[in-house]
Amino acid sequence: MQVTRNHNRLDVVIERNFNLSAIRELEQHIEDSTDYLIINLKHSFFLDSEAIIFMHRWQQQGKKLKLINPPEVFYEILEVLDLTDSWNLEQIIDQQQER
């Protein structure tokens, strides 16, 4: 996991799938002052329900989230879990041409 800190913002590039193991590692880098999380998923084949739960609760705390290049399956997961309408995807997603 590549991590870059910029004041209260944390930029991470997850180099595997975004799951329980990645969350455990990510949590070690989050400080109380961190209120903006940018997660680059260009290396991830998928993210799982633990990742969804983590991001959902992050946003519920009023903190900012940006997802760069989430895998296709991310949108399908949101549909299955009936969360598409409750996530502000226009604000969250940054689809770069890197995948």
Partner 1 sequence: MEAQITVLAKPEVIDSVSSFSYRWCINSGLSRKEATGFALALDELITNIILFAYPDEKGTFEVTFRNSMFNVEVILTETGEPFDPELHKYDSSKAVREGDFEGAGLELVRHFTDTFLFLNRGKQGKEFRISKTIDEPHIKELKPDLQTEPKDATSVEQNYKTDIFKPSDAEAISKLIYRTYDYSYTKEDMYFPKKVERGIAQKKKIGVITRDEKGEAVGYFAIIKKEDSNIAEVGEAVVSPAHRRRGVMTRMMERLIKIAKNQGMLGLFGTAIASHPISQKVNHKFGFVSTALMLAKSDPLRMKSLQENTPQPTSIVLDFLPLRPFRRPKLYLPAPYRELLRKIYSTLNVEIETGEGENDFLDNESEIDVKINYNDHFALILIESYGHDFEEVFHNLSESLKNKKLNAVYVDLPLDQSGTPHFLDVIRGEGYLFSGITPLFHKERDYLRMQKIYADMDFDLIEVFSELAKEIKTLVSREYHAGNT
**Binding interface with partner 1 (CB under 8 A):** 16-17, 19-21, 24, 45-46, 48-50, 52-53, 56-57, 60, 71-73, 76-77, 80-83, 86
Report which DSSP code applies to 18.
B
In the complex, the smallest distance separating the C-beta of residue 6 from partner 1, rounded to whole angstroms, is 27
- Per-residue CA distances from 35 to 4, 14, 31, 85, 97 (Å): 14, 18, 9, 23, 26
Q: How far is the CB of 81 from partner 1 (least distance, A)?
A: 6
CB 27 within 8 A of CB 57: no
Q: Nearer to partner 1 by C-beta: 9 or 52?
A: 52
CB of 11 to partner 1, least distance (A): 21
What whole-number distance in Å separates Cα of residue 13 and Cα of residue 22? 11
Nearer Cβ to partner 1, position 60 or 97? 60
Contact (CB, 8 A) for 39 and 66? yes
Of 2 and 5, nearer to partner 1 (C-beta) is 2
